[in-house]
């Protein structure tokens, strides 16, 4: 089945730790995205990638980093510099930037 | 002015009624428009996309686009309790790329 997978579903982090969220897609999409959603809020773009080995900052990139070494994979690292990381993180992909985005199931990160 | 606006709700309708969800956007150059449904604790799922003025129907859902008024709506006919969710409007806007901007969402509750 084609789709987007994210792991883990739930993640707990101690303050000061870096954590990496996984996102994999088998839709053969060029573009991938990371969003953050806080309770009762809309989606805020963290990073996006239009093509392999290229990525750009979104609206709230501070404290986050990404890589795009393979077309299928776009991992997100939440660093200790992110002061309020507790949120629901969503990965999405589209055939090209600006196209219809399809979402993974999300990772819920909680900082203890 | 926010780029994509939606009534936050909650919008309550009785089962079997028509639910009307509205979205306005600020960029006159926007070309692509999307409606997503998001159940509590889950990721957004695409309902439909619309690109041309007028109506587009898919089952019980009808999207309506009026670019002159910068307005897009989603009608849900014969509303069911399973339609209770948050509905996100998304619009592309020209920046350095075709950026998709998500609205804050409208919470819909269908009362049996």
**Phi and psi torsions of B49, nearest 5°:** -120, 155
Cα–Cα distance between B34 and A100 in angstroms, integer?
A: 8
DSSP string, chain B: --SEEE----EEEETTSPEEEEEEES-TT---EEEEEE-TTS--EEEEEE-SSEEEEETTEEEEEETTTTEEEEEESS--GGG-EEEEEEEEEESSSEEEEE---EEEEEE-
Q: How far is A100 from chain B (nearest CA, A)?
A: 8
DSSP codes, A60-71? S-TTEEE--SBT
Residue B44 forms contact with A (CB below 8 Å): yes
pLDDT for B45-61, tens place per residue? 999 999 999 999 999 99
Q: Do B43 and A50 touch (CB under 8 A)?
A: no
Interface contact flag, B49 A100, Cβ < 8 Å: yes
B56 forms bridges with which residues in the sheet? B63
What confidence tens digit (pLDDT) does each residue in B86-112 have? 999 999 987 767 789 999 999 999 999
Instruction: Please measure the distance between the N-terminal and C-terminal CA atoms of chain A and give it in whole angstroms.
Output: 35
A98 contacts in B (CB within 8 Å)? 32, 92, 97-100
Of B10 and B8, the structure prediction assigns the larger pLDDT to: B10
Q: What's the pLDDT tens digit per position in A63-100?
A: 999 999 999 999 999 998 888 999 999 999 999 988 99
């Amino acid at each position: 089945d084609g789709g987007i997978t994210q792991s883990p579903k739930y993640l707990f982090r101690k303050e000061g730790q870096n954590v990496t969220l996984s996102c994999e897609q088998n839709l053969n999409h060029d573009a991938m995205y990371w969003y953050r959603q806080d309770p009762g809020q809309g989606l805020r773009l963290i990073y996006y990638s239009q093509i392999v080995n290229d990525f750009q900052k979104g609206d709230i990139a501070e404290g986050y980093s990404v890589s795009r070494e393979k077309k299928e994979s776009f991992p997100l690292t939440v660093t200790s510099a992110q002061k309020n990381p507790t949120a629901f993180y969503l990965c999405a992909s589209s055939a090209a930037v600006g196209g219809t985005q399809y979402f993974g199931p999300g990772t819920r990160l909680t900082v203890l | 002015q926010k780029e994509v606006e939606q009534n936050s709700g909650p919008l309550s309708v009785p089962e079997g009624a028509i639910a009307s969800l509205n979205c306005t956007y600020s960029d006159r150059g926007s070309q692509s428009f999307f409606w997503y449904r998001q159940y509590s604790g889950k990721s957004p799922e695409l309902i439909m996309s619309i690109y041309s003025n007028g109506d587009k129907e898919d089952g019980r859902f009808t999207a309506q686009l009026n670019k002159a008024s910068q307005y897009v709506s989603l009608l849900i006919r014969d509303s069911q309790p399973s339609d209770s969710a948050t509905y996100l409007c998304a619009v592309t806007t020209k920046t350095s790329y075709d950026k998709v901007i998500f609205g804050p969402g409208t919470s819909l509750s269908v009362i049996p």
